Structure 1
Amino acid sequence: MSSFAENLRAAMAERSLTQAELSKRTGISKSFISQYLSGKFKPRDDKLSALAQALGTTKGALLGYESRSADGVENVASGIIKVPVYSADDPHNAWGEEYAGAEHGNYRFYICRDDKNRPFVMFGDYLLVSVDEIGPTGLYAVVKEGVERVYFREFSEPRREANELGLRIIGRVCEIRRKMT
């Protein structure tokens, strides 16, 4: 897997873009772009999206998670998978995709859309859920029958406690990504 700085440099060279031109296209200062190219920093998600769009590529390609072969087939790095992202408010319509470090399995990201799940989960957190995985104590994504919303609950005995509360377990939360603003 190549570094972000290498991939950014290559994408700029492929399109014959200077730092100043990329800065104009993205609204990212030239000094930040210089720091990205030196490998000093990686951009936040919003800046990464702007760079990918301006360069006509994907966030995954810039991060080195994916590449395209000569025949246009997408290759994703080993141990990295694309996972659909859903809002906890609308668990049936995917908003997009994120990358996660996992080999195989059925995963979903849910974006927490309220502050009712504290202290573990905050508004805007992305929770990676291993669908249908029910194990020991942990944080789980659940739904209440008849309610079109995903909640997150800590259980010490998941099956028993969810049953007592009338909740259906979607799966175990295996990662929480807190988006920094």
Structure 2
Amino acid sequence: MPLVADPLGGSYYLEWMTDKIEKECQAFLDEIEERGGVYECLETGWLNAVMEENRLKIQREKAEGKRLIIGVNSFKGESGPINKEIENCAYKVPTEQMRTDKIQELNEFKAARNTEKLYDCFRRLYLDTKEGRNVSRAMIDGIAEGMTMGEMVGIVRLGYHISYDPLNMLPTPDYVKEALKEYLS
């Protein structure tokens, strides 16, 4: 499998591997038949010798690193690269302080915006959506004035005459109602 970049990318490779395994299995079964069958191979110890030889071969390949088994001789233990990568990518639940800091940061960001220009962007996005026009420019201008993704999605939803919040859990914020008061009834 590791000999090609994408073993399943072409069925020819998978077919070749299947044919190879089938031939090897058939050759082994033919050898057992030539030796008098399974019972005779067990009685003479030949089958046990073959199994022991394969066991030692596999053990030697693992020890030499020629046969990689994840968790046994590669990427093992807590200090292994896979575990470190998983740990680095795993979602870390933010602490209460981190959540509080993020909310404060968002509130400070919103407070620093130019309300008049932002409300103009709200109105333009709402009207462009409602009238079926391209909303790209209104969104770009809104982002430049500090419109958040949530505000943008909510206003587009209002333009389509559906609730501000996709989950219907939050009411339309008062400042959005204020900006769109002449359009919302």
TM-score normalised to structure 2 length: 0.19
Which structure has greater strand proportion? 1
TM-score under structure 1 normalisation? 0.19
Larger relative helix fraction: 2
Specify the structure having the higher radius of gyration (Cα).
2
**Structure with the larger RCO, 1 or 2 (CA within 8 Å, 6+ apart):** 1
